[in-house]
């Protein structure tokens, strides 16, 4: 009897050890033609560990960088696709996407980290990896290293050679003052739906917002959908609508990627109109409740929608270029064209 209990315990322990990490999502949307999970397998086999190791060290110094990197990927993909255009500095042809109002609060340290990663990867593999792919990997690792789900990132994006105008940037990124009715049409233009909106908004489980992004909810008076104590605290942080201060997006666990953001919303402690309204709109409320109660479900859906978002409008094959410097297009230089084998793997770059 004792020995059969021992066997049972041993088998159970082995099963537990060999079962996959619970947060790893298996359900993925279709992968766009030209992208693959093995894209850099021969041309830069250590790519993913280079990114992970570098960010691990950076986050020990500043965990806020994770939020900055995740947001850059979102702002890249929503505006003319995930082509690294948000990374470009302005040029004689006009101000860059970075100069458009929604991008003014992107963190300089996050842009710096992408450039540092670019140089590190270049040193080990040569110029074969696009900046847009570095951004997508950095966003995934920001999620993972903050406690969120891991997921596989399809790779093979090429870098764009143009950036969007100020107006195009403004039109592509929903404002924090928007409610669900105003946000959904912006998302439907890029084939994202209400479920994607609820899942992706969970990115607000880390990071910060400036007073100007939520002043519409506390001035001249409290948005009635906001919790009174939460309001009092926000008014302490932002005594005037133009105060240049910041506060956490998720008051329960500001630096941890978890489902507490949805618990905030249920307690009427979401920071932006675009957050809190998810709890009040009938098209999104039930998923907010589901995610608040079930973190595993949130992690799965978040990973699914991130892979979907990460493939928006990508340039592949011979389109675009592989930038030498993520902040500037290659200019007159001949762009690098990769050779792709039949498995969707990059085998060389000219
Ligand atoms: C309806 C869509 C969205 C709106 C209106 C929105 C709006 C905003 C605003 C206004 C800020 C704060 C800017 C500031 O005041 O400094 C912010 C921060 C942030 N957003 Fe969003 N966002 C949206 C969707 C997303 C998505 C899809 C993600 C990623 C999956 C994301 C990730 C983040 C992160 C991580 C931060 C914190 C950045 C930091 O601390 O530097 N957001 N967002």
What's the confidence (pLDDT) of residue 343?
64
Query: pLDDT tens for residues 229-242?
Result: 999 999 999 999 98
- Which residue in the block uniquely carries the two structure tokens 């950095």? 138
Ligand 1 site, residue 148, Cβ cutoff 6 A:
no
Ligand 1 site, residue 105, Cβ cutoff 6 A:
yes
Is 250 assigned a ligand-binding role in the annotation?
yes
Q: Give the residue, out of 63, 71, 281, with the most ligand 1 atoms within 8 A of its beta carbon, to mutate for a pocket test.
A: 71
pTM: 0.91
- Look at 271 and 94; give whichever has higher pLDDT: 271
What's the confidence (pLDDT) of residue 3?
45
Q: 341: pLDDT confidence band, cut at 50, 70 and 90?
A: low
pLDDT at residue 350 above 50?
no
Query: pLDDT tens for residues 125-165?
Result: 999 999 999 999 999 999 999 999 999 999 999 999 999 99
Ligand 1 center–CA 170 separation, angstroms: 14
Q: 346: pLDDT confidence band, cut at 50, 70 and 90?
A: confident
Ligand 1 site, residue 155, Cβ cutoff 6 A:
no
Q: Which of 12-16, 151-155, 310-314, 327-331 has the lowest mean pLDDT?
A: 12-16
Is 205 assigned a ligand-binding role in the annotation?
yes
What's the confidence (pLDDT) of residue 348?
53
What's the confidence (pLDDT) of residue 95?
86
Ligand 1 site, residue 71, Cβ cutoff 6 A:
yes
- Which residue in the block uniquely carries the two structure tokens 């902040």? 327
Nearest CA to ligand 1 atom 7: 176
CA atoms within 13 A on the CB side of 341: 11
Beta-bridge partner residues of 349: 338
Ligand 1 center–CA 42 separation, angstroms: 35
Query: pLDDT tens for residues 12-26?
Result: 443 333 333 344 546
Q: How far apart are CA 53 and CA 179, in angstroms?
A: 39
**Active site residues per annotation:** 75
The secondary element (H helix, E strand) that includes residue 346 is strand 346-349
């Amino acid at each position: 009897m004792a020995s059969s209990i021992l066997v049972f315990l041993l088998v159970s322990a082995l099963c537990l050890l060999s079962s996959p990490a619970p947060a790893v999502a298996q359900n993925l949307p279709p992968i766009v033609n030209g992208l693959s999970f093995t894209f850099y397998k021969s041309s830069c086999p250590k790519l993913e560990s280079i990114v992970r190791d570098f960010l691990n060290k950076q986050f020990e110094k500043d965990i806020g960088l994770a939020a900055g990197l995740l947001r850059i990927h979102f702002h890249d993909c929503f505006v003319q696709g995930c082509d690294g255009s948000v990374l470009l500095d302005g040029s004689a042809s006009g101000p860059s996407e970075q100069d458009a109002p929604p991008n003014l609060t992107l963190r300089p340290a996050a842009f710096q980290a992408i450039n540092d990663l670019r140089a590190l990867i270049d040193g080990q593999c040569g110029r074969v990896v696009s900046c847009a792919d570095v951004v997508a990997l950095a966003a995934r690792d920001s999620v993972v290293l903050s406690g969120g789900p891991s997921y596989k990132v399809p790779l093979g994006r090429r870098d764009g050679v143009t950036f969007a105008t100020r107006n195009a940037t403004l039109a592509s990124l929903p404002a924090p003052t928007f409610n669900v009715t105003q946000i959904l049409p912006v998302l439907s233009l890029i084939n994202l739906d209400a479920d994607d909106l609820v899942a992706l908004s969970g990115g607000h489980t880390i990071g910060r917002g400036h007073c100007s992004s939520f002043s519409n909810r506390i001035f001249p008076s409290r948005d009635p959908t906001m919790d009174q104590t939460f309001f009092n605290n926000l008014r302490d942080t932002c005594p005037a609508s133009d105060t240049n201060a910041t506060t956490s997006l998720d008051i329960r666990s500001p630096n941890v990627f978890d489902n507490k953001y949805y618990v905030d919303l249920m307690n009427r402690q979401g920071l932006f109109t675009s957050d809190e309204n998810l709890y009040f709109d009938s098209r999104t409320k039930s998923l907010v409740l589901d995610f608040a109660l079930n973190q595993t479900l949130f992690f799965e859906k978040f990973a699914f929608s991130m892979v979907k978002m990460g493939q928006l409008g990508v340039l592949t094959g011979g389109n675009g270029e592989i930038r030498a410097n993520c902040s500037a297009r290659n200019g007159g230089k001949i762009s690098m064209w990769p050779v792709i084998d039949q498995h969707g793997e990059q085998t060389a770059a000219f």
